[in-house]
Structure 1
Amino acid sequence: MESVVMKYPEFSYISISYWRDEEIVEKLTTYMNEVDMWLFSGQIPYGFAKKWAGITQPMFYVPSSGSSLYKTLLQISYNQKIPFDQISFDMFHPAELERAFKESNIAVKPKYLKHYEGEVPTDEIVRYHYELWKTGKTLAAVTCLKNAQHELNKLGVPAFRVLPTQSAIVSTLALILQTNETMHFKDTQIAVQMIEFDSFSSLTKDTFSTDEIYKIEIKMTEKLLEYTKKINGSLKSAGPGRFVIFTTHGLLREMTKDFTIVPDFAILQLTSSDAVTCGIGIGQTVYDAEINAGTALLHAKEFHKGSSMVVFDDKTIVGPLGQPEQITYGYAPEHLQSLSEQTSLSIATLSKLESILRKMGKTEINAHDLAQQMSIMPRSARRILTELESKGLAQVVGEESPHPRGRPRKVFQIIL
């Protein structure tokens, strides 16, 4: 891989090796702020990185393509004379391996294959091949993992590694360059940040006057000007207590750590009593971005004052920023429009519900959990579930008793 990357002057690279699975996250953490993209030599380190979810940069891995496997099979056949039905394999999809055998005119079908997707411990792969070899079922192992080959050879197992081909590496590098161009284009998109604060929240009965409100407005304007300078933007007032900042997608993405945290209002020394609510809009034009920012602000206010939401140019909504539980949902997905017409629920509510269930990986939920995920009152969550149940879109499938003396909570299965 290194010899191929060296031929491309567009790239500067850092070569990182590891021997134990436990080292992967540690190595990634060390170099995380020094790279723009990650290229993994195979599916396993890529899977561990994806599971960790600590990387915000795009990630790629070089696939073990058919030609890589053909080269390894030819080597085994020509040099080792080992029957193909006495070889164990890992990683490949069963259909992919069978197709490779068929295209190579190998009469037998592969008997021993450990297929996996994502991360899998190296020890598990080594154990799979070793047990087959030790019991006499196989004479050799074919693996896609360098560390597995190393450990198997130490145990005496003839192990062959499927190496990535030069063409597969070149294809992956081309994809990285294309992704970089796309990201650069996105970073230059217009971003609008619409900020609203409650001028009355910090007033008391003794200080309530129009002069005090005016002082608060001036103070807030000064703070926002300081913040706007940090993101190379421009600020304009949009009425009492509302401001609009124009900047770029890239600068705002960097400020919010890829739209996961609240914009850095800490530099403004704002407190929770300032009740700052924020909507961020991304668009191809200033007009589109401003419309999206207004939509994001409305969604942020739906959650509660002080929230921040984002609406991207594809109408995807993300937020609330800075919360441990964020949801991503569509602005107006077509498949929910008919369900909205059947019920008294808006498309946005149904879309949020669908996103929450997708994130949880199940179709069952109770009112308490729904209220927490949506940042709404439990009675509002119960109303949503009851409405769905009355229209045949949800049914009670059980009860939960979180506390011995508390009321049982109905568990609803949602059918969207």
Structure 2
Amino acid sequence: MRLRLGVIGADDSLAIIESAVQEFPEIECLPIVYWREEDIPDLLLPHLDEVDMWLFSGQVPHAMASQTGKIQVPTAYVPHIGASLYRTLLHLSHQLGIRVDEVSFDTFTAEELGHFLQEAGIAEGFRWLKHYEGAILASELADFHEKLWQEGKTKAAVTCLRTAEQELLRRGVPVHRVVPTKAGVLSVIHMLLRTHEMLHFKDTQIAVQMMEIDPFRELAGGNFSTDEWQNAEIKTMEKLLRYAKYLQGSLKTAGPGRYVIFTTRGKVQEVTSDYATIPDLEELFGIRPDLVTCGIGIGKTAYEAEIHGGTALLHAKERGAGNWMVFLDDKSVLGPLGREEQIAYRYDSEKLQELSQLTSLSVMTLSKLESILKKRGKQEINAHELASHMQILPRSARRILIELESKGIAQVVGEESPNPRGRPRKVYRISL
């Protein structure tokens, strides 16, 4: 089970990371050096399909890569706190005689830097720090450090960014770079290997696709013989056997028009694009998607996966023929696959169980509502919007909102008019 690891870093950091990776024969390394942070997306994109994970030499290259939105595998970066920072401060103090309060820092949070100095037994605290989230321009960091140095407030700058170090050197500012230590890199690599092992285990988890198919809708009219019925079912079985082989799984019948395919989680995630779409059954196997309702169950055992598959099928049937839902081993439900209104909700939330006891609404309904609000990015919604997301009638959605309002969980905050002659729609703000 080899790990294909992509490593992106500045020249000096990359050398340290590569030396650490060499100690792991199970890792195949793809090293990529960058000289400017803005080049990282172009360096990264051609290799997206070549690695299982990405390791970055620091926070900024990691943030630059994440902003592309193209990475679909686990990522990590090497932290600059701990031994990396201690080595730099030791050099400043013992070899140059510069105190911590005479130095400007960047990258770290005030909390982690203060905690580190306290643990290191350094009495004087820091005075100058520029913390940032995500990516930042090297020139912005250089401006921060240079201004303090020119004003005589500092004697040196400590930066975590290679390009900021180069810019400060160009400006004549005394600068010291915090580079990763081999021990720090080894710690991150061990974490990545554990993650890789866990993901491999997840990929081999059992998955069950429980499908209901109505092959008789394809028969012309309402007058057909039992032979035609049987031929339609045989043809469906032949198509599903090819689909099961494609999934590297096995097929069994579970009653008239109901079929069960046993396969693995990894294969299901592959054919559904990580639970986002429905497999192209018609193009590949000649099965009309509108005739298929499917529930996918993931479990630690075949029994658990089958139970989850049945539950997922019930959720799919609630939304009508042609819908696919997924029930994962963490008790969360996803779906419908391939639809814009796709949501995810859970069964095991203690908070929602308490709200369910307070209201007449089920945990499932409340969980769906919570997921819809999270997906919309706001707490306000009207009955028609709720009905559209939940695939229920507007009057049913109104009953849900009125029930929440009666218990103080929702309040009317305004009205909307869909058109000049239509009835205004109440807008509710919900606080779960």
TM value normalised by structure 2: 0.86
Aligned-pair distance for 1:253? 2.1
Structure 1 counterpart of 2:366, from 339, 350, 362: 350
| 8 A Cα contact 1:89 1:112, kept in partner | yes
Q: Which moved more, 1:201-210 or 1:372-381?
A: 201-210
Distance 1:277 1:127, change over 3 A: farther
Q: Which moved more, 1:201-210 or 1:331-340?
A: 201-210
Matched, 1:173 2:168: no
Structure 1 counterpart of 2:164, from 141, 148, 151: 148
Matched, 1:29 2:45: yes
Residue 273 of structure 2: aligned partner: 257
- Equivalents in 2 of 1:155, 1:288: separation in Å? 64
Residue 297 of structure 1: aligned partner: 313
Aligned-pair distance for 1:391? 1.8
Residue 341 of structure 1: aligned partner: 357
- Equivalents in 2 of 1:110, 1:404: separation in Å? 63
Instruction: Give me the CA root mean square deviation.
Output: 2.8
| 8 A Cα contact 2:297 2:309, kept in partner | yes
The one-letter amino acid of 2:413's match is V
Residue 13 of structure 2: aligned partner: none
Aligned-pair distance for 1:9? 0.6
Distance 1:44 1:320, change over 3 A: farther
Aligned-pair distance for 1:104? 4.1
Residue 268 of structure 1: aligned partner: 285
- Equivalents in 2 of 1:258, 1:229: separation in Å? 20
Q: Which runs of 5+ in 2 are unaligned?
A: 1-16
Distance 1:135 1:331, change over 3 A: same
Structure 2 counterpart of 1:93, from 109, 120, 134: 109
Deviations 1:187-208 (A, max 9, x none): 2221111112234544553666
What is the count of residue pairs matched by the alignment?
415
- Equivalents in 1 of 2:117, 2:286: separation in Å? 66
SS in 2 for 1:270: coil
Q: Which runs of 5+ in 1 are unaligned?
A: none
Residue 334 of structure 2: aligned partner: 318
Aligned-pair distance for 1:411? 2.9
Aligned-pair distance for 1:270? 3.4
SS in 2 for 1:193: strand
Deviations 1:310-341 (A, max 9, x none): 11222122222223453322123233223223
Matched, 1:283 2:299: yes
SS in 2 for 1:16: strand
Q: Which moved more, 1:199-208 or 1:79-88?
A: 199-208
| 8 A Cα contact 1:42 1:61, kept in partner | yes
SS in 2 for 1:27: helix
SS in 1 for 2:209: strand
Deviations 1:56-95 (A, max 9, x none): 2222222223221111112233444444334222221212
Deviations 1:1-41 (A, max 9, x none): 11110121110010123344443334333211111122122
Distance 1:6 1:243, change over 3 A: same
Structure 2 counterpart of 1:328, from 325, 344, 355: 344
- Equivalents in 2 of 1:82, 1:400: separation in Å? 64
The one-letter amino acid of 2:273's match is K
The one-letter amino acid of 2:286's match is Q
Aligned-pair distance for 1:277? 1.6
| 8 A Cα contact 2:138 2:167, kept in partner | no
Residue 16 of structure 1: aligned partner: 32
SS in 1 for 2:369: helix
Alignment of 1:175-254 (within 5 A): 175-203=191-219, 205=221, 212-254=228-270
Aligned-pair distance for 1:292? 0.4
- Equivalents in 2 of 1:124, 1:209: separation in Å? 79
SS in 2 for 1:220: helix
SS in 2 for 1:13: strand
| 8 A Cα contact 1:65 1:165, kept in partner | no
Residue 62 of structure 1: aligned partner: 78
Aligned-pair distance for 1:388? 0.9
- Equivalents in 1 of 2:171, 2:317: separation in Å? 62
The one-letter amino acid of 1:259's match is Y
Distance 1:163 1:275, change over 3 A: same
Distance 1:114 1:281, change over 3 A: same
- Equivalents in 1 of 2:424, 2:101: separation in Å? 57
Distance 1:190 1:72, change over 3 A: same
Matched, 1:43 2:66: no
SS in 2 for 1:15: strand
| 8 A Cα contact 1:367 1:382, kept in partner | yes
Aligned-pair distance for 1:139? 4.0
| 8 A Cα contact 2:215 2:236, kept in partner | no
- Equivalents in 2 of 1:87, 1:399: separation in Å? 57
SS in 1 for 2:130: strand
Residue 383 of structure 1: aligned partner: 399
Residue 5 of structure 2: aligned partner: none
- Equivalents in 1 of 2:108, 2:18: separation in Å? 24
- Equivalents in 1 of 2:116, 2:134: separation in Å? 22
- Equivalents in 1 of 2:159, 2:326: separation in Å? 44
Residue 112 of structure 1: aligned partner: 128
Distance 1:287 1:107, change over 3 A: closer
